[in-house]
Amino acid sequence: MTIAAIHAETLKQPLGGHDRVAYACRMDVELEDSALMLRYRDGDAAAFEALYRRHNNSLYRYLLRLSLNRDTAEDLFQEAWGKIINSRHNYRPTAKFSTFLFRVAHNCFIDHLRKNKRHTAETNIDPDLSPNPGEQPDQSVENQLARRKLDACLREIPPEQRDVFLLYEEAGMSIDEIATITSVNRETAKSRLRYAVGKLKVAFSEQGSPGSTGRNGDAE
Amino acid sequence: MQNNPDIDIAEGVVDKFLSAQYQRLADETVPDSLDRMVLRAARNERSEGQAGRSRPAAWFRQAAWVAVAALSVAVILEFNEANVFSPPTGISDRVPPMEDRFREFLEAADIAAEQVRDAEAAAANATQNVGSSRESMPLEDHRSLETTLQPNNRECTSEQRAAVSSWWKCIGSLESLGATELAERELAALMGAFPGFAVPEK
């Protein structure tokens, strides 16, 4: 289906809020990201909210672990979405929206690094100590410790390798998409990912196996 | 890369253990306040964008530029008329060059010198003729000659005009020398300057 056809089709479909998106999901006509962005460009705020809900947490975690600082991550998160909002009139769905979004976020982080040379020395994620819904207190403490280990492992690898690893894990990018976002060739991106994975495996094994419950609340 | 099955993502083969560990642990979500901030920004931006088409923002910027340009041109023209930007040219237009002024000075000096020579010559001739012809001259010619020779025969000096008595004395001398018209003008001036002056009877 061409972009024009997607756009024309999405304009026919009603979308008044987040519940409408859920309705669209049930009907197996979930709108693509680019279609939602086009609808937002045409004035549909609900389309943006639906789009935002799809990517907000993954983008947040990407920036959180990339910057290793909660305040910085929140600033970059807001800045990245602000750029998405401001550029909606010029948006052309030539690539996946997620690629566009994470590229904007990646560039925000690069700009932040250039402005703040001391960034790498400031590590402060401050994990939220409140237990997740359905999580036992003991389990929560154990998970917090595991997260600290994860962050410590991520801190040990260079930012370029960490960036590639997070793009793969959080955004689900392919090597080609990662190469596009980080503005390197495919082999460089692949090499960075290989090094990142190798180092993280070693670090994980040295620090012991982290916790057993996580993002989906599933127990091992 | 094909030798390492843990990393070859292109074929979907990754380090599943590491990936699973990461996915379990990295479960942070966006703070609600941040969510609200972004969504509010998106709504505000959309409403501003929709309203912006009907507001004068688009043409206002262009109109502002035109106004600034017009004001600039007006100010520059005003300054040009006032010769603010060209002081050397204005000065040279109003003040003649040094050479011209020097030439005018020399010409004036020549004229003055010539007048002095003429006056000296006339005085010398008059002096020579006074002694020989004074008795034989008619009274009117004599008076005329006296008038010519008197330094104060044309009008009263400012020092004489400073006081009524000296001014009146001067007028009397003019009358005695026959400069009646001049004496009458001086008397009129005296009466104008000193209205309360009573002409003494002769």
Chain B residues with CB under 8 Å of A199 CB are: none
State how far the alpha carbon of B100 is from the alpha carbons of A43, B108, B110, B112, in Å. Answer: 80, 12, 15, 18
- Which chain A residues in 186-205 lie under 8 Å from chain B, judged by CB atoms? 190, 193-194, 197-198, 200-201, 204
- Please report the pLDDT score of residue A137 as a whole number: 66
| Distance, CA of A205 to CA of B17 (rounded, Å) | 11
Residues in chain B within 8 Å Cβ distance of A40: 42, 46
Chain A hits for B16, CB-CB cut-off 8 Å, are none
Q: Is the CA virtual torsion B119, B125, B131, B136 positive or negative?
A: negative
Contacts A197 to B, Cβ<8 Å: 6-7, 14-15, 18
Both structure tokens of B118: 């003429």
B chain contacts of residue A132, beta-carbon cutoff 8 Å: 27
Quote ipTM for the complex. Answer: 0.73
What is the predicted pLDDT for the residue at A150? Answer: 84
Residue type, A142: E
User: Locate tokens 């912006």: which residue?
Assistant: B52
Of B14, B45, B50, which is closest to A86 when you measure between CB atoms? Answer: B45
| pLDDT for position B19 | 87
pLDDT for position B164 = 86
Minimal Cβ distance to B30: which of A60, A211, A220? A60
Distance from CA of A200 to the nearest CA of B (A): 8
Specify whether the CB–CB gap between A62 and A166 falls below 8 A.
Answer: yes
- Going by the DSSP 8-state scheme, the letter that residue B154 receives in this structure is S
Least confident range of A48-57, A129-138, A182-191, B152-161: A129-138
Residues A30 and A24: beta-carbon distance below 8 Å = yes
How far apart, in whole angstroms, are the C-alpha atoms of residue B7 and residue A200? 12
B127 vs A199, higher pLDDT? A199
CB contacts < 8 A, A to B, total 116
Of the pLDDT bands very low, low, confident and very high (cuts 50, 70, 90), residue A148 is confident
**Partner-chain contact B15 A201, CB within 8 Å:** yes
CA distances from residue A59 to A77, A103, A170 in whole angstroms, order as listed: 7, 11, 7
Instruction: Give the pLDDT of chain B (202 residues) as one tens digit per residue.
Output: 334 444 454 444 467 888 888 888 888 899 999 999 999 999 887 666 555 454 555 667 788 888 999 999 988 888 877 766 665 555 555 556 666 777 777 787 788 778 777 777 777 776 665 544 444 444 554 454 444 444 545 788 888 888 888 888 888 888 888 888 888 888 888 888 888 888 776 5
- Residue A117: per-residue pLDDT: 72
Å from A129 to nearest chain B CA? 11
What was the pLDDT predicted at A145? Answer: 82
Residue A67: exposure state from Cβ atoms within 10 A (0-12, 13-18, ≥19): buried
Residues with Cβ within 8 Å of A31's Cβ and at least 6 positions away in sequence, in order, are A10, A13, A15, A21, A24, A39, A47, A50
Residue A217 near residue A185, CB atoms below 8 Å:
no
Range A55-207 classified under CATH 1.10.10.10: yes
**Would you state the structure tokens that stand for residue B18, as one six-digit string?**
């590491």
Residues 32-91 (B) with a CB less than 8 A from some CB of A: 34-35, 37-39, 41-43, 45-46, 49-50
Q: Is the Cα torsion angle B37, B42, B48, B52 positive or negative in sign?
A: positive
Contact present, A62 and A105 (Cβ < 8 Å): yes
**How crowded is the C-beta side of B96, counted as CA atoms within 13 Å?**
8
Closest residue in A to B12 (Cα–Cα) = A174
How far off is chain B from A82, nearest CA to CA, in Å? 7
